[in-house]
Amino acid sequence: MFKTKSVCLSLMLAALVPLAGCGGEQVKPAEVLRVSGQTMGTFYQLTVPADYKGGKEQLEKDARAQFQTVIDAISTFDKGSEISRFNQRDSTEPMQISTYLAHVIEEVNRQALRIGGATEISIQPLVNLWGFGPDGRPVKVPSAEEIAAARQYVGMDKYAVRYIGGSAFLEKKDPRVQLDLSTVGEGLGVDLLAQLLDEKKVENYLVSIAGAIRSRGLNPEGKPWRVGIVNPVDPDGQPFAVVCPQQEAMSTSGSYRNYFTDDNGRRYSHIIDPKSGQPISHHTVSVTVIGRNALMTDALDTGLMVLGADEALAWGDAHETAVYTIEMQDGKPVGRHNRYFEKYLKCTAPSGR
């Protein structure tokens, strides 16, 4: 495990924590703008150079416009979003959707297929059944019959994206099929923020929404941006590991914040194994993935959580992908990473700096 004692913190409710500089640096820190707030039921944080055109107000406005694009497409809490309208439909007729949503569905499924379908966006009927959906909180463990009934509408073959005359359409094979893209909401948000900042030629930034981050360039002290992976047994304390995902996206899926406990004290996570219809119950509590964009890493981290640490690390090795896991062993969190993650734990500046 990476030692984090000397790290200065700016904490928030997330699986990842952007880390502020610690002062005492030789280099005069650059002036920066920091904007933070709430979106999609969680928290976001942006750090960009102070010369952002229009200043803090404009940055916040620009960020909110990007978040709204994601919310309009995939929010299950907003009943007017594209996905909510699709879920409420009592028809198998194709529904016209934005090319943005079509692309998101296709890309998540492309990633999901790489990990054997462990990320499954038609999971919504099971998510609702277990009480993690937009309409309720978990109250009871469903029966085997209820789980089997919900599983009938879960699977990549239960819906399809089609293109007709340049327009995108989404259709379900049964009116009871419902999609849940909430697991990639954070990743989509930071990808759109990064795209916006890249278009504006902003050379140094760190953007994060809960468990997903994107960065570019260097931090205000001229050093690599550092991000903390949250300690699952002390989410508001010191980070469990410090990572420098230079120029790349990183996201973490964790099972330690959103769960319910039954009368016997057994914990049920909000992450559900589509094969069994059951919430995951193994000892892996956090999986972090680094990759070229946050839609990809956010689609992978959830499924790799379903598979558990051993399989997640082996999959990362086989697919040249950086993976970091945390498992509970004898009540203590234990971190492991694969060889592709190694370089991100060494927070050295890029050569020539």
Chain residues binding Mg ion by CB under 5 A are 183, 253, 298, 301-302
CA dist 331 to 16, 77, 232, 304, 327, Å?
22, 35, 11, 22, 9
Instruction: Choose, by CB under 6 A, the member of 183, 204, 215, 288 that binds ligand ADP.
Output: 183
Q: Which helix (H) or strand (E) holds 62?
A: helix 55-74
Using CB under 6 A as the binding rule, whether residue 177 contacts ligand ADP is answered as: no
CA–CA gap between residue 293 and residue 305 (Å, rounded): 19
Three-state DSSP at 13 gives coil
Q: Which is nearer to ligand ADP, 32 or 70 (CB)?
A: 70
**Pairing assessment for the beta strands 249-254 and 212-216 based on DSSP bridges:** antiparallel
Residue 235, amino acid? P
Q: To the nearest whole angstrom, how small is the minimum distance from the Cβ of residue 252 to Mg ion?
A: 8
Using CB under 6 A as the binding rule, whether residue 191 contacts ligand ADP is answered as: no
Q: Which is nearer to Mg ion, 239 or 303 (CB)?
A: 303
Q: Which is nearer to Mg ion, 87 or 253 (CB)?
A: 253
Instruction: Choose, by CB under 6 A, the member of 46, 71, 97, 127 that binds ligand ADP.
Output: 127
From the list ligand ADP, Mg ion, none, partner contacted by residue 132 (C-beta under 5 to 8 A by kind): ligand ADP
Give the tokens for residue 204.
């140094």
Nearest residue to Mg ion, using CB?
302
Q: Which helix (H) or strand (E) holds 208?
A: strand 205-209
CA–CA gap between residue 236 and residue 243 (Å, rounded): 17
Q: To the nearest whole angstrom, how small is the minimum distance from the Cβ of residue 132 to ligand ADP?
A: 5
State how far Cα 188 lies from the chain centre. 8
Site for ligand ADP in 13-42 (CB under 6 A): 15
Q: Which is nearer to ligand ADP, 224 or 279 (CB)?
A: 279
Using CB under 6 A as the binding rule, whether residue 277 contacts ligand ADP is answered as: no
Q: Which is nearer to Mg ion, 125 or 185 (CB)?
A: 185
CA–CA gap between residue 50 and residue 251 (Å, rounded): 26
User: How many other CB atoms are there within 10 angstroms of residue 28's CB atom?
Assistant: 9
Contacts of 92 (CB under 8 A, 6+ apart): 171, 172, 173, 174, 175
Residue pointed to by tokens 């379908």: 117
Site for ligand ADP in 246-275 (CB under 6 A): 253-254, 258, 270-272, 274
Q: Which is nearer to ligand ADP, 132 or 341 (CB)?
A: 132
Using CB under 6 A as the binding rule, whether residue 104 contacts ligand ADP is answered as: no
Using CB under 6 A as the binding rule, whether residue 123 contacts ligand ADP is answered as: yes
Q: Give the binding site for ligand ADP (CB under 6 A).
A: 15, 119-121, 123, 127, 132, 180, 182-183, 211, 253-254, 258, 270-272, 274, 302, 306
